[in-house]
Chains A and B, each alone.
Chain A
Amino acid sequence: MEGEKLPRMNPTDSNKTDSIRQNEYIFSLSSSLSEAEIREVFAGFKITFLTEINKSNLSYKIKFLNDPGIKVLEERVQMNGKFRYIELNSLYKKNNSVDH
C-alpha cells in the first residue's frame, strides 16, 4: 500500500542513535527515604531495578517495566517533596575521531 510517508531516518546519518537508556531514570533526594517509601512514590510503574548511586547526594538509579515518561515522574516526585530532581539516564560517548 502506498501513501504519504512520514519523515524517515537518514540512512547515512550515524547520529540518530538513542541518547538515553530506555526506561531508566536518576533521582536525588533532599532528605532520606526508605526503599519502601521510594517504591510507594513510583507505585504502578513496576520497578525492575532500584539502586543507590552515591551516598553523599542521596542519588539513585531506577528502571521501570511500565515507563510512564519523564513528565509523569516529575509530577510524582514533586508531590512527594523530598526529591531534588528526577532525570533521564543519558548516554555519553567518546568524542572520537572523525575521518576526513
Chain B
Amino acid sequence: MNFMKTNMIKKMKILTSIVLLILSSVLLSNPTNRTLFGETWNANLRLRGLSSHSNFEPNEIVIKYKSTVPTKEMTSKTVGFGLHLNQVSARPHFTTAFINQNETLNEAIERVKQDPSVSYAEPKYKFYKSAAAPNDTDFGKLWGLRNTGQTIVSPSYSINNPGTSGKDMNVLGAWDLTTDCSSIIVAVLDTGVNYNHQDLAGNMWNGSGGCFDQNGNSIGGGCPNHGWDFASGDNDPKDEEGHGTHVAGTIGAVGNNALGMTGVCQSAKIMSVRVLGIGGGDNTSVSNGIYFAVRNGAKVINMSLGGSNFSSLIHDAIEYARTNDVLVVVAAGNENSDLKTGNSYPCKNTSANIVCIAALDQSYQRANFSNYDTTAAASSRSVDFGAPGANIYSSYGEEVSYNEGNSNYGTGWTTEGSGGSTTWAYLSCSFNLSGQPITLKGLSLPNDCSVIDWNFTPPYAAPTSVSASIDRRVYKNFVIPNNSTNVSLFQTIISDGEESAGSTCYDYTEAIYRSTSGSPFAGGTLMTLPDYNRNSYVNKFCRKRISSVDYSFIYSDSITLVNCINQGSNCTIGYRYFSDSSVNQGGAIIGDFNLSAWAPSTTAYTTINGTSMATPNAAGVAALIRAYNPSFTYSDVLQKLIDGGQPEASISNSTQYGKAINANDSLKHLKQVTGVSVQLQ
C-alpha cells in the first residue's frame, strides 16, 4: 500500500513537471484560463510562480480541521473529498492532499471549505531560506533593506541611531523570489542621474535605439544618455547636484557586484528624466517628464519632489500615466507638516495611481522632518505609507558643506578696508520672532544687535549708527571639489543704512564672490538678490522707506554661485559695508552662512535624509513586485503594497494605510491578487 502510494506520488510529480513545463511556455504568452489535456488550470494562479520560484505547490492543498474533528477521522474525511492524501499532522490538526486533475487548485479549496468540519483550506505554501546578503561592500549600511540594529557611522540623522533590529523592508526575504527588475523601466524624475557612477552604469535604461518626446514624436538620434533633460532642454540628463543619483541608487544600484551598495532592485532599467534644474523645476518640466517616461515605457515613476500648489497640467500628466498603467510614487515632503491642512503636491493629488510616501527612521518612528496627514477619514489621507527615509546610504558625488555658524565664524575670515573704529566681527543675537526664540550667529558691523532690534523687537529702537565714510570688507576662501557642478550659498543678510532714493543706495552692504583664493573685491561678482521692500533685484542692500516707515533690507535664502561652477577648487565669499559722509544709520549682520558644493564622481556615496529618500525605497519595491508579476497592473501592485505592508503605530493615524512598505510580505502575499480567488485564512 505504501509502495503503491509512493509510486503514485512519483508518477504524479513527473506528470506535474511535464505539465508545468508546457504551461510555462503557454501561460507566459497569454495569462488566461487554459484547457490542457482536458484540464482547466487557473493560469493567473500558475503564472505567479514563473519568475523564479513558485510560492506554493501547484496541485496540493492544506486542510485544517476544526478541533471537534477526531484526529483519526481526518484521513477518511480527506479521502472523502475525493483527494489523494499525502500527509497527516495530528497535533496541528491538518492534512495535506493532492487535488484531482479535473479541478483547479482554487476549485478544490473552495469545495473543501464548504464542509462544516473544515476550519480552512489553502494552498500548500513553500518557504525558502532568506536570500544571502549580496556581496556589495557597504551592504551593512543599508538598514532599510536589512536592519540588524547597526549604527550608521557619520549619520545625517541622529535620532534612533542605532534603531531597532528587524525594522526594515525585509528585502532579503523578497529576494528569495527575485532580485531582478530589469523587465520594468523605472523613471527617476529628478535632478538627473550620474549614469557613469560605478554602481549605476550597468542598470541604466538604454534609449540609444530610439525614443519619443512628450508628444510621442520620435527623437532623432534616440536617447543615448539614458533619458532626457527637460530642465535644460537637451538629451543629456546628467546630475549636477546629486539628489537624483542618490534616488536612483536606492531603486536600482547594481547588486552583488562587490562594490558599494545595492538597490532594492539588483538589476534594473533606470531612466533618467531631469525635471529639476539648479533651483528646481516647474509645472512644465515635471509634466513633460511624466509624458516622456510613459511614452518610453516606464511602468514605475519616482518623483522625490514637491511644490505647494496644485497643477492641472501635472494632474493631466499623472492621469495619462494612469490610463497607461503606470504607478507614480511621490514624496510627502520635508516640512513636518500635517497635510490635513498643509499643502504638498503632487502628494495631495488624488489620482488612483499615486502613492505618497512618508519617511521613517531606524526604529520606524516617523522622521521628524516628514510630512504626514491626520485627516479623520483614513481613506482621505494623502500620505499612504511609510518607508525608510533617514540615514539612507546611496550613490552620490563629492560634496563639501561649510556651516560657519557651527564654528562661530572662527577661522579664515580676513578683514580689510578703512574708516570707523570697528570692522566686521563675530556676533550672536537672540531675539523673538512671532513668539519664537531665534538665535542668529554671524558677522556684524557695528558689533551689536541693534539692527536686529530695529527690525524685530518692539519698540524698534533706532539702531547704533555706523561711522561716516567707511568701506569695511570681510572675506573667506572655501575649498570646493574641482569642476563642481553646483555651488550654492544660503545666507541671511540684514542691512540698514541711509534709506534709498529710488534705486540708489547711499549706505549699503554688498555680497561678492570669486572662483579664486584671495580678496574677491577685485574681479569678483556681486550677488544680485531680491529686495522685497523695493520689489526688485538689487546688488546694493539698504534701508527703504515705505509709507513713512523705514525698513532694513532683509534676505534669507539660497543663491547659486554660477561663477564658481565648473572651475577649480576655490570659491571665495566676501561682504562689504559702505557708508557715505552723511545721514548714517544702522549697519549690517550676515548670518546663517552655509556654503555647499557638489561634483559628480563615479565612486562616491553618502548618507542623507528626506522623504526623497523614502520614496525610492517604495518605488524599488513596487518595481520588484511588478517585475515578479509581469501581468500585474499598477492597481495590483498597489494592492500588494497594502496587503503586505507592515502595520506601524507611529504612522497608524497619520497615513492612509498605517503601514510601512514591506518587500517580503508584498511579494509573497497572495491576497486579492487579480484573477486569483484563493484566500489566506
Give the chain A neighbours of B632 by CB distance below 8 A. none
Check B156–A28 contact: CB distance below 8 A: no
Kindly list chain A residues whose C-beta atoms are within 8 Å of the C-beta of B517.
Answer: none
CB pair A8 B456 closer than 8 Å:
yes
Contact B462 A2 (CB under 8 A): yes
Specify which of A54, A56, A59, A92 is in contact with B280 (CB 8 Å cutoff). Answer: A92
Residues of A within 8 A of B369 (CB): 98, 100
Choose, from B62-70, B86-94, B174-182, B328-336, the stretch at the interface: B328-336
Of B14-22, B75-83, B286-294, B477-485, which binds chain A?
B286-294
Q: Is A71 an interface residue (CB 8 A)?
A: no
In this assembly, does B425 line the interface, its C-beta being within 8 Å of a C-beta of chain A? no
Q: Is A89 interfacial (CB 8 A cutoff)? A: yes
Asked if B149 CB lies within 8 Å of chain A CBs, one says no
Task: Identify the closest chain B residue to A10 (Cβ).
Answer: B433
> Which of B313, B333, B548, B611 has the most chain A CB within a 10 Å cutoff?
B313
Say whether, besides A8-B554, A17-B557, A26-B311, A100 and B306 are in contact (CB < 8 Å).
no
Does residue B125 face the partner (Cβ distance < 8 Å to A)? no
Cross-chain pairs A/B with CB under 8 angstroms, 22 sampled: A3-B460, A3-B550, A5-B455, A5-B460, A8-B433, A8-B554, A9-B555, A11-B492, A11-B494, A26-B283, A28-B313, A89-B282, A89-B284, A90-B282, A90-B308, A91-B281, A92-B281, A92-B305, A95-B612, A97-B609, A98-B369, A98-B609
Given contacts A9-B554, A97-B609, whether A91 and B313 have CB atoms under 8 Å apart is: no
Q: B156 to chain A: which residues have CB within 8 Å?
A: 97, 99-100
B313 and chain A: residue at smallest CB distance: A26
Cβ of A93 to closest chain B Cβ, rounded Å = 4
Number of A-B contacts (CB under 8 A): 180
Q: Are B610 and A11 in contact (CB under 8 A)?
A: no
B191 within 8 A of A: yes
Interface string of A1-37 (1 = CB under 8 A from B): 1111111111111111101110010101000000000
B residues 186-230 in Cβ contact with A at 8 Å: 190-191, 214-216
Q: What sequence of 0s and 1s flags, for each residue 56-100 of chain A, a beta carbon within 8 Å of any chain B beta carbon?
A: 110101000000000000000000000011011111111111111
Given A9-B554, A91-B281, A20 contacting B309 (CB threshold 8 A): yes
Q: List, in ascending order, chain A residues with CB within 8 A of B320's CB.
A: 56
Q: Which of A6, A14, A20 contacts B490 (CB 8 A)?
A: A14
B460 x A56 contact (CB < 8 A): no
**Residues of B in contact, count (CB < 8 Å):** 75
- Which residues on B sit within 8 Å (CB–CB) of A87? 283, 309, 311-313
Chain B residues, CB < 8 A from A98: 157, 334, 369, 609-610
Residue pair B556, A14 in contact (C-beta under 8 Å): yes
On whether the beta carbons of A10 and B438 are closer than 8 Å, the reply is yes
10 A-B pairs with the lowest CB-CB distances in the bound complex, closest first: A97-B608, A90-B309, A3-B549, A95-B612, A95-B331, A93-B280, A92-B307, A98-B369, A11-B492, A94-B243
Q: Which B residues lie within 8 Å of A6 (CB)? A: 549, 551
Whether, in the assembled complex, A53 has its beta carbon less than 8 Å from a beta carbon of chain B, the answer is yes
Per the bound structure, the CA–CA distance linking A90 and B609 in Å amounts to 25
Q: Say whether A93 contacts B312, CB under 8 Å.
A: no
Is B44 an interface residue, CB under 8 A from the partner?
Answer: no
CB distance from B324 to the nearest CB of A (A): 12
B671 to chain A, nearest CB (A): 32
Name B's interface SS.
mixed
A10 to B612 CA separation, bound complex (whole angstroms): 26
Q: Enumerate chain B residues within 8 angstroms of A99, measured Cβ to Cβ.
A: 156, 609
Contact B612–A54 (Cβ < 8 Å): no
The number of chain A residues touching the other chain, given as a range, is 35 or more
Known pairs A90-B309, A94-B191 / 20 extra A-B pairs, C-beta < 8 Å: A1-B549, A3-B460, A3-B550, A5-B549, A9-B532, A12-B492, A12-B591, A17-B557, A17-B558, A19-B309, A28-B312, A54-B291, A59-B316, A90-B345, A92-B305, A93-B307, A94-B305, A95-B331, A97-B156, A97-B609
Is B428 at the interface (CB under 8 A from chain A)?
no
CB-CB nearest in chain A for B555: A9
Closest to A52 in B: B215
Q: Are B305 and A95 in contact (CB under 8 A)?
A: yes
A9 to chain B: closest CB distance in Å? 5
Query: Taking the complex as formed, is B350 at the interface, i.e. its CB lies under 8 A from any CB of chain A?
Result: no
Say whether A26 contacts B308, CB under 8 Å. no
Q: Which residue of B lies closest to A99 (CB)?
A: B156
Using Cβ atoms and an 8 Å threshold, which residues of chain A touch B284?
A: 26, 53, 61, 89
CB of B287 within 8 A of CB of A54, answer yes
CA of A95 to CA of B548 in the docked complex: distance in angstroms?
41
The docked-state distance in angstroms from the alpha carbon of A9 to that of B555 is: 8
- Tell me whether A95 and B308 are in contact in the complex, defined as CB-CB below 8 angstroms, given that A12-B440, A28-B316 are known contacts: no
Q: At the interface, yes or no: B368 with Cβ under 8 Å from chain A? A: yes
Contact B312 A85 (CB under 8 A): yes
Option from B157, B307, B609, B613 in Cβ contact (under 8 Å) with A19: B307
Decide if B276 is an interface residue (CB 8 Å cutoff): yes
Contact B557 A16 (CB under 8 A): yes
**A53/B288 in contact, CB under 8 A:** yes
Q: Bound state CA distance, A24 and B281, in angstroms?
A: 13
Tell me the nearest residue of chain A to B281, going by C-beta.
A92
Min Cβ gap B516→A in Å is 28
Question: Is B276's CB under 8 angstroms from A92's CB?
Answer: yes
The distance in angstroms between the C-alpha atoms of A62 and B53, with both chains bound, is 54
Q: What distance in Å separates the Cβ of B634 from its nearest Cβ neighbour in chain A?
A: 20
In the assembled complex, B467 has its CB within 8 A of some CB on chain A: no
Contact: A2 with B215, CB < 8 Å? no
Interface pair B275/A92, CB less than 8 Å apart: yes
